[in-house]
Amino acid sequence: GQSLEQPSEVTAVEGAIVQINCTYQTSGFYGLSWYQQHDGGAPTFLSYNALDGLEETGRFSSFLSRSDSYGYLLLQELQMKDSASYFCASNTGGFKTIFGAGTRLFVKA
Amino acid sequence: NAGVTQTPKFQVLKTGQSMTLQCAQDMNHEYMSWYRQDPGMGLRLIHYSVGAGITDQGEVPNGYNVSRSTTEDFPLRLLSAAPSQTSVYFCASSYSRDRAYEQYFGPGTRLTVT
Residue B20 confidence (pLDDT): 98
> What are the helix and strand counts (H, E) for chain B?
0, 11
One DSSP character per residue, A18-30 reads EEEEEEEE-TTEE
pLDDT in tens, B64-87: 999 999 999 999 999 999 999 999
Residue B97 confidence (pLDDT): 79
CA triple A90-A35-B3, angle to 5 deg: 110
Q: Give contacts of A31 with chain B, Cβ < 8 Å.
A: 101
Which member of A31, A42, A44 has the closest CB to residue B101?
A: A31
How many contacts does A have with B, using Cβ atoms within 8 A? Answer: 63
Q: What is the average pLDDT across B4-18?
A: 97
Say if the Cβ atoms of B40 and A87 lie within 8 Å.
no
Cis omega (within 30 of 0) on the bond before B8? yes
Interface of B with A (CB under 8 A): 33, 35, 40-45, 48, 50, 56, 58-59, 90, 92, 97-108
Does A94 score more than 60 pLDDT? no
Mean pLDDT, rounded, of chain A: 94
Q: Return the half-sphere exposure (C-beta side, CA atoms, 13 A cut-off) of residue A8.
A: 3
Which member of B33, B41, B108 has the closest CB to residue A42?
A: B108
pLDDT in tens, B29-70: 999 999 999 987 889 999 999 999 999 999 999 999 999 999
Does A60 score more than 90 pLDDT? yes
Q: Give contacts of A102 with chain B, Cβ < 8 Å.
A: 40-42
Q: What is the average pLDDT across A79-95?
A: 89
pLDDT band at A93 (very low <50, low <70, confident <90, very high): low
Least CA distance to A4: which residue of chain B?
B42
pLDDT band at B114 (very low <50, low <70, confident <90, very high): very high
